[in-house]
Structure 1
Amino acid sequence: MTGDPAAPPLPPATFFGQPRGLAYLAFTEAWERFSYYGMTALLTLYMIGQLLLPGHVEHIAGFAAFRGAVERLTGPLSNQALASQVFGLYSGFVYFTPVLGGWLADRFIGRRAAIVSGALLMSGGHVAMAFDRSFLLALLLLIVGCGLLKGNISAQVGELYRRDDEAGRTRGFAIFSMAVNFGAVAGPVACGFLADRYGWHVGFGAAAVLMLCGLLTYLAGIRHLPGDRQPSRAAAPAAPLTRAEWRRVAALTAVMGITIFQSIAYYQISNVGLVWIEGNVDLALAGFRVPVPWFSAVDPFFSIVGVPALFALWRRQAAHRGEPGDLAKIGIGAAIAAASNLVLAVAALVGGRVGLIWPLAYCAGLGIAFLYYWPTLLALVAGAAPKRLVSTLMGCAFLSLFVGNTVIGWIGGYYERMGHAAFWAMHAAIAATGAVLILLFGRRLGHVLSSR
């Protein structure tokens, strides 16, 4: 389970045809995603509906200085625009810090220590989120903890497979994402229900408990996971990368850059997407009002149920030598994300409060788009990155989400200024740009990444 081509055969597969360690990693991340998506499904609505209102906002430690710093860059912001900026900065930096967490693990503390430390910090962050005063501290703890955990746990998934097992690794990451999405479905449903019935802080508190469950799951399965390699320190420098390895690093960086476009179109669902749903959708269903945070569970649900169907499709295509390569799958994901955002653009043109089918179709399409592009990107990094840079480059993959989420916070500030149809059509065009770039450069990038 070292990821080395010369390693002994893997132990018998026991989890959906995959190594046993995949189950523990998948469900550790499932609990982490439960807490993360449960919290983020509440975050923008909580800020607009309570935290930024008089009687609350003045109690947040350091918030006046923070708001002043943001508005020096953006100009005066409404509560909706400020909430969008805060969401974008938070969700962006959650995906920036994994590159630092990967570097620390590769060079100093090892992946296991990084993952355990990250889980503890995230638990503390969720506890702090239950109080107005510690709001900014909570976001900081969550950002740092996620940085230590996310990239390193994904790197451990890649190490369960031989480096020449591209098909197995891609399917392993798809299964990993499917299990993770169980958490992403349950988090918004559970935390959204608790917040709706018992108050925002009860919803945030539930996320803390479930993050601790993730830590216990990881510790329970640690004997089935790849061991830490001796970290490479400055006192014992490794041999320099070869020219071919540098070319692969450059090609992986280019692919990560391309995926930023579909990430912008995808992650807006958790920010302005929920604001649009609250203001423009008839939420009544058989006498029950559907909580808005529940819509954050729809796209990961379709990422779960879509896995068996996509596996069957890919097997059928492979049998006829027509299965798309990894880069083509990333391009298909971008095209589906574009079509999904067009659904909301059309719904906005319909006008009035539209039926539930419109946001459901939007969320479902994004779930399938995610399944095509994100686990495929992680598998590509795990398989093509130079061995000693796997954790660092896995962190860089999450860095692309930092850029995407930071941009959605900025773009979200235009929601009140633009027509709603134009706002969502803009997101469709952004995602389509990613598909076009794969069409233009995918073959050349694929040639570089397949060379060894």
Structure 2
Amino acid sequence: MSMWKNHPSSLKRLFFTEMWERFSFYGLNAVLVLFLTKSAHIPENLALIIFGSYVTYVYLATTIAGFLADRVYGYAKVAFMGGVCILLGHISLALSDVTFLLFYFGLGCIATGTGLLKPNVSVMVGKLYSDAEEDKRVQGFNIYYMGINIGAVIAPTAVGFVAEKVSWHAGFGLAAIGMAFGLWVFHKGMKDFPSNCKLENKHLRQQKLIGIKLDYLIYIGLIILAAIFASLLANPVQSTIVSGICLLILGGYIFSLWRKLQLNERNQVWIILVLSLFSVSYWTLSNQTISSLPIFIDRVVDLNYFGTTLPASSISSFYSLILILLAPVIAWFWNFSKRINREPGYAGKFALGLTMATLAFVVIILGIMQASHAGKMNLFWILGCYTLLGFGELCISPNGLALVTKYAPQNLSGVMMGLWWMINAFAGLTAGLLAQLIGFENTDKLATDQQLTIYQSGFIKVTLVGIIITVILMMIKNKIDRRG
């Protein structure tokens, strides 16, 4: 295929690995909140915090991934270890009808494993290209990102249908099968990955602490981490407190790292840190597609089409589909704007993405206004919202990954990518907290028009948050781009 032309052969392996890993991840995300509220009968406010905490823990684990990759195992080995953790987690979810404790342990394993795999596969994509191949690196990330979205298109429809129409645990089992495929693809390509992705510290691995090899201590530590995540997820209020403490620790870590950087490195890292905050803001809005919007769709959106009722969880497939359809259009637009010397910098692209995300919730408000006269809301308003959010994501996510690989100091590539994901981790928690504004609690028994009135007020608040953040970035984007 021409898509692969002039790109390293390992890009294809990473493409399919991430496609299947994302199948398992987005399949779970599509059904998680609905499972918690409809099957486990957990109150909406707690279910949203559990979801948000789970997403946060996924990305908190990325800092460990950076350390293990840079100092011990190399990027490829840590990514594989993460895949094994994810597979174990999905199997635990599938068996959680035996005891619900397996459900929380499964989420803990998936959070740990995804934190290990995701940043290291991203770094591996960047490592396939030299510094002189910046344009090709961005193209490679766009291709890689397409693999993510193919998995994300298939997953909600397949896993959502099985979960809602057959059984929730069968849906979890299907996600496990997807992860098994991804792990197999990655392992088959291990020998072909470039050497800079497989640099191990064999001497350190053989060192002993309290008489036990470091290797074994790391494996035990990962299991303990999954168990800690599981315990926190089972206690959502305590989980929120712990997330706040982690935020303070993260601030101290960034300050410590900053003090060790040279002047030119600080300038580059400053760009990464500032734009990471606006990336968090975007994902806080975008994560509503897998937190608040599935509940909203399930309750007040008309899903009767083609003589059947569509599973509410399957609608998020459209979001990923629009990403695939828009990706070449956005890539062409950036190339065209570059040819005429009008391409925006990273901050300008982020500002455009946040603008689209904010407008997406304006569409929801308009749809609610229409529904107040016609009963349930038309599904096409949701599709319009997802289209704008997809446009925004394509402005932010691939450019965010590219800017980290471009500006990260050479000996801190893994740490900076881990730090990028760790900062973005809090978008899970903030998304869960932002969803509280919409007002789902104790509304499922109300008439549809009464629910719509409550939800309209909530989405207006969400939109105002988006407007404020976008205006702030607009005010400082030129300063950021000049530094780059």
TM-score (norm 1): 0.86
Q: CA 1:196 to 1:16, structure 2 compared with 1: closer, same or farther past 3 Å? A: farther
The corresponding residue for 1:439 is 474
What are the superposed Cα offsets for residues 77-102 of structure 1, whole Å, 9 maximum, x if unpaired? xx111111111111111122112211
Distance apart, 1:246 and its partner CA: 2.2
Q: CA 1:252 to 1:233, structure 2 compared with 1: closer, same or farther past 3 Å? A: farther
What are the superposed Cα offsets for residues 250-273 of structure 1, whole Å, 9 maximum, x if unpaired? 221111012111111101110111
Distance in 2 separating the partners of 1:395 and 1:433: 28
Distance in 2 separating the partners of 1:435 and 1:92: 23
Aligned partners of 1:175 and 1:307 also within 8 Å = no
Aligned partners of 2:292 and 2:435 also within 8 Å = yes
Distance apart, 1:248 and its partner CA: 1.4
User: Matches of residues 290-329 of structure 1 in structure 2 within 5 Å?
Assistant: 290-329=310-349
Q: Does 1:34 align with 2:57?
A: no
What residue identity is the alignment partner of 1:165? E
What are the superposed Cα offsets for residues 130-150 of structure 1, whole Å, 9 maximum, x if unpaired? 214211101110111111101
Q: CA 1:414 to 1:179, structure 2 compared with 1: closer, same or farther past 3 Å? A: same
Distance in 1 separating the partners of 2:471 and 2:138: 23
The corresponding residue for 2:460 is 425
What residue identity is the alignment partner of 1:310? I
The corresponding residue for 1:221 is 189
What residue identity is the alignment partner of 1:27? F
Distance apart, 1:328 and its partner CA: 1.4
What residue identity is the alignment partner of 2:105? L
The corresponding residue for 1:60 is none
SS in 2 for 1:19: coil
Q: CA RMSD in A?
A: 2.1
User: Matches of residues 225-374 of structure 1 in structure 2 within 5 Å?
Assistant: 225-227=193-195, 228-230=198-200, 241-350=261-370, 351=372, 352-374=375-397
Distance in 2 separating the partners of 1:220 and 1:313: 36
Q: CA 1:431 to 1:166, structure 2 compared with 1: closer, same or farther past 3 Å? A: farther
Distance apart, 1:361 and its partner CA: 0.8
Q: CA 1:161 to 1:408, structure 2 compared with 1: closer, same or farther past 3 Å? A: same
The corresponding residue for 1:383 is 406
What residue identity is the alignment partner of 1:153? V
Distance apart, 1:439 and its partner CA: 2.0
Distance in 2 separating the partners of 1:329 and 1:111: 29
The corresponding residue for 2:157 is 189
Q: Greater helix percent: which structure?
A: 2
Distance in 1 separating the partners of 2:314 and 2:305: 13
Distance in 2 separating the partners of 1:354 and 1:91: 29
Distance in 1 separating the partners of 2:463 and 2:12: 35
- Would you say how many aligned residue pairs link Structure 1 and Structure 2? 408
Aligned partners of 2:405 and 2:413 also within 8 Å = yes
Aligned partners of 1:107 and 1:233 also within 8 Å = no
Distance apart, 1:285 and its partner CA: 0.8
The corresponding residue for 1:68 is none
Aligned partners of 2:284 and 2:434 also within 8 Å = no
Aligned partners of 1:121 and 1:141 also within 8 Å = yes
Distance apart, 1:426 and its partner CA: 2.6
User: Matches of residues 44-83 of structure 1 in structure 2 within 5 Å?
Assistant: 44-52=33-41, 79-83=43-47
Aligned partners of 2:31 and 2:313 also within 8 Å = yes
What are the superposed Cα offsets for residues 273-292 of structure 1, whole Å, 9 maximum, x if unpaired? 11011111111112121111
Aligned partners of 1:174 and 1:376 also within 8 Å = no
What residue identity is the alignment partner of 1:168? K
Q: CA 1:404 to 1:163, structure 2 compared with 1: closer, same or farther past 3 Å? A: same
Distance apart, 1:358 and its partner CA: 0.7
Distance apart, 1:14 and its partner CA: 7.0
The corresponding residue for 2:80 is 116
The corresponding residue for 2:8 is 19
The corresponding residue for 1:201 is 169
What are the superposed Cα offsets for residues 306-349 of structure 1, whole Å, 9 maximum, x if unpaired? 11111222222222111222221111111111111111122223
Distance apart, 1:374 and its partner CA: 0.6
**Larger CA deviation: 335-344 vs 18-27:** 18-27
Distance in 2 separating the partners of 1:31 and 1:437: 37
Aligned partners of 2:22 and 2:152 also within 8 Å = yes
Query: Structure 2 unaligned runs (5+)?
Result: 205-259, 441-452
Aligned partners of 2:73 and 2:199 also within 8 Å = no
Aligned partners of 1:265 and 1:430 also within 8 Å = no
Distance in 1 separating the partners of 2:203 and 2:397: 31
Q: CA 1:383 to 1:51, structure 2 compared with 1: closer, same or farther past 3 Å? A: same
Q: CA 1:436 to 1:127, structure 2 compared with 1: closer, same or farther past 3 Å? A: same
Q: Does 1:87 align with 2:51?
A: yes
What are the superposed Cα offsets for residues 134-184 of structure 1, whole Å, 9 maximum, x if unpaired? 111011101111111011110011111122433222222122111110001
Aligned partners of 1:105 and 1:231 also within 8 Å = no
Distance in 1 separating the partners of 2:266 and 2:384: 42
Q: CA 1:20 to 1:428, structure 2 compared with 1: closer, same or farther past 3 Å? A: farther
Q: Does 1:106 align with 2:70?
A: yes
SS in 2 for 1:187: helix
The corresponding residue for 2:433 is 410
1:43 to 11, 32, 39: 32
Identical pairs, percent: 28
TM-score (norm 2): 0.80
Q: Does 1:143 align with 2:141?
A: no
